Amino acid sequence: MQPQAQQSRETAQRILDNVAKVILGKDDAIRLGVMALLCQGHVLIEDVPGVGKTMLAKSLARSSGCSFSRIQFTPDLLPSDITGSSIYNQKTGEFQFRPGPIHSQIVLADEINRATPKTQSALLEAMEERQATVEGVTHALPSPFMVMATQNPVEYEGTFPLPEAQLDRFMLRIRLGYPSSHEEIAILDSQQTTHPFDTLEPVTTPQEILRLQAEVRKVYVDPLVKQYIVTLSDSTRHHKDIALGASPRASLSLQRVAQASAFLAGRDYVLPDDVKTLATAVLAHRLVLTAAARMMGLDSARVVHQLTEDALVPGARVAR
């Protein structure tokens, strides 16, 4: 790895280590969050209440030095509460645009599935095109830009499932899970007097994040690895248990996250294992299973895992 690339990787490692001061025992989840930031992607954090979903987003924002805003999604939230609105100024006699919370570098969409579909759709343009159109006027969003949304997978009363178009815009789905016994004791110790987040300091700048993103895009992806990615995505489109398979956007996301994984590992090239390891986090939340598969108790993560086991890895030989 070149000296500049090595320096960039050290910066990324500082972010990982800094967030780990607050989110204890969840190194894999932290790594996925940082990879999404390095790939200009968005993250859906899906887990039960109280395991640190919101704190993960806040810690990542503070560690990266990016501006941060939080949107608490509720059934009465309006699209203009997210994107902003024009307000009449009596002194000047003109309408002035008041930007909404979406105009931040890292945006936490807390309990996103509690808002109505109309309000959820206000995020679609922002997540894909990095812009927000209000009353016919398009406003560019700051860069870097990242949406980290949270939702509770076990509480369905008063919630609205995310549409497929929005799920497809999330590069990764992260699940934190409960901590182990010794990790939970460490959490109790760390927060007995003060919260670690209160003393957390930035370890880089938004400008440095943009440079890291450019470095990640330079990581080499062999044509055989690209074919492996496409093979995995295509296999979801013809599976008997899947009603809606992965889109080309999913293939792009899998390639980009694999590049970030290689970058964090100190390599300037992607291995098939990078793709295989990340396939479930990238693909599972985008798939819609058939009614028969759901009745059988299957879930999309299990189906993707099986597809990665069945797909022939580039360079591997079939045993005879």
Mean pLDDT computed over 223-237:
95
Q: Amino acid identity of 13?
A: Q
Choose among 64, 9, 8, 7: nearest CA to 33.
64
3-state secondary structure the chain: CCHHHHHHHHHHHHHHHHHHCCCCCCHHHHHHHHHHHHCCCCEEEECCCCCCHHHHHHHHHHHHCCCEEEEECCCCCCHHHHHEEEEEECCCCEEEEEECCCCCCEEEEECHHHCCHHHHCHHHHHHHHCEEEECCEEEECCCCCEEEEEECCCCCCCCCCCCHHHHCCCCEEECCCCCCHHHHHHHHHHCCCCCHHHHCCCCCCHHHHHHHHHHHHCCECCHHHHHHHHHHHHHHHCCCCEEECCCHHHHHHHHHHHHHHHHHCCCCECCHHHHHHHHHHHHHHHCEECHHHHHCCCCHHHHHHHHHHHCCCCCCCCCC
Q: Does position 136 have pLDDT exceeding 90, yes or no?
A: no
Pairing of strands 288-289, 242-244: antiparallel
Domain architecture of the chain: domains with CATH: 1-214 (3.40.50.300), 219-311 (1.10.8.80)
Structural tokens at position 103: 């105009």
CA 197 – CA 289 distance, rounded (Å): 39
Q: So what's the pLDDT on residue 94? A: 83
Q: Does position 277 have pLDDT exceeding 80, yes or no?
A: yes
For residue 159, name the pLDDT band (cuts at 50, 70, 90): confident
Mean pLDDT computed over 145-160:
82
Q: What is the pTM of this model?
A: 0.90
Q: So what's the pLDDT on residue 259? A: 97
Choose among 89, 106, 189: nearest CA to 141.
106
Structural tokens at position 127: 């997540």
Mean pLDDT computed over 224-236:
95
CA 253 – CA 141 distance, rounded (Å): 21
Q: So what's the pLDDT on residue 154? A: 63
For residue 2, name the pLDDT band (cuts at 50, 70, 90): low
Q: So what's the pLDDT on residue 106? A: 96
Mean pLDDT computed over 180-190:
93
* Cis peptide bond upstream of 179, omega within 30: no
Is the torsion defined by CA of 172, 178, 183, 186 positive or negative? positive
Residue 134: how many other CB atoms lie within 10 Å: 18
The separation between CA 53 and the C-alpha centre of its own chain, rounded to angstroms, equals 12
